[in-house]
Amino acid sequence: MSIYRTVKPFVLGSGSPRRKDLLGSAGLEFEIKPATCDEPAPYPGQDPEDYAIKMAELKAENVAANNPQAYVLGSDTIVVRDRDILGKPVDRDEAYQMVKSLCGHKHKVISGCALISPEGKKISYAVSTEVEFIDFNEAAVRAYAATGEPDDKAGAYAIQGQGAFLVKGISGSYTNVVGLPLARVIETLVDLGVVVAGDC
């Protein structure tokens, strides 16, 4: 028996396998239609939470335009060191440099979420989790960068993968670091009547 079931048309506007797996783990049924819009870089001094929300809204609006009958979820996850937003590394040397800069320190993982209803109502928010890395061993970090796992990850690591060895502790939502603040998203979907618990 599933924990939740979907009772209204629901679209995930993301091709992320991690977001797909997180939503599916709770029993939700949904279509996957990745956004096709460009993602502009943050402007100098832009607040990281504001940027994450704007990117989530951009993706949700892009997908909602072609799916007016459904509730559409857009999401964007970023890694923030001090006030600097770390994107995806361009190569493995940059992946190494990113991870090295995070080791021995705390950073934030911020997910922006935007849900658009068929009537055009938009609910947007950001969820932040603090992550602390161990002090790095250079050989281990180079070996991790060489695995290829960091290649397409913001901040150049995956907490749910081999990158877990870097993590000393977290404060906040674990699933947010994976790519989606699941509890908050489901709470929103329940409030809107998109999903219901069990056989209700």
Measured between its terminal Cα atoms, the distance across the chain in Å is 12
Q: What is the CA radius of gyration of the chain?
A: 17
Burial (0-12, 13-18, 19+ Cβ within 10 Å), 159: buried
Q: Are residues 117 and 111 in contact, defined by beta-carbon separation less than 8 angstroms? A: no
Q: What is the β-pairing status of strands 10-12 and 31-32?
A: parallel
Token code pair at residue 15: 């091709």
Catalytic positions, written as ranges: 76
Rounded to whole angstroms, the Cα distance separating 153 from 34 reads: 17
Token code pair at residue 82: 């001090």
Instruction: Provide CB contacts within 8 A for 180, sequence distance 6+.
Output: 16, 18, 19, 22, 23, 75, 77, 111, 113
